[in-house]
Amino acid sequence: MNTFSQVPPGFRFHPTDEELVDYYLRKKVASKRIEIDFIKDVDLYKIEPWDLQELCKIGNEEQSEWYFFSHKDKKYPTGTRTNRATKAGFWKATGRDKAIYLRHSLIGMRKTLVFYKGRAPNGQKSDWIMHEYRLETNENGTPQVYICIDSNPYVIFNS
């Protein structure tokens, strides 16, 4: 049974990209209250992907995706950090960013990252995948970026 008490049994969190960006990310960035505050704040650089499972649980349900917010910090004030490193490895972008539209307007972008164990450029590719969402427009001019996610726990253990 689902014990996530504020949502009735049978409801599971399977948000669309539009919902993540237009509701959750937009509210978070604007510091507005999110109705049910189940998406945790995480410091992505201090946590390994396999430790997210426990931290980002939603009720008692089986999950194969975890959602969290994390500030994207920069290596250098003027540049962009490309290797998002943890103790055990690093996240590396893959493919092209995907544009996210709501009623034909661009509202955000989704970057896909893969986790490599070890240190760049010699890391060993894993099967952990993360999606990083960012708002396309930012009212106050600061490139404030939060990360949501999803990762695949089952596959990682094989790789």
Q: Which residues of this protein are in contact with its own copies, per CB under 8 A?
A: 1-2, 7-16, 18-20, 22-24, 34-36
User: What's the one-letter identity of residue 155?
Assistant: V
**Beta carbon nearer to its own copies, 24 or 116:** 24
Q: Residue 92 is encoded by which pair of tokens?
A: 């590396």
Cβ proximity to its own copies, 65 vs 123, nearer residue = 65
**Is 23 or 50 the residue whose CB approaches its own copies more closely?**
23
d(CA 6, CA 38): 10
CB of 115 to its own copies, least distance (A): 24
For residue 146, give the 3-state DSSP assignment.
strand
Q: In the complex, what is the shortest distance from the CB of residue 74 to its own copies, in angstroms, rounded to a whole number? A: 29
How many other CB atoms are found less than 10 A from the CB of residue 41?
Answer: 11
**21, 107 contact by CB (below 8 A):** yes
Q: How far is the CB of 63 from its own copies (least distance, A)?
A: 13
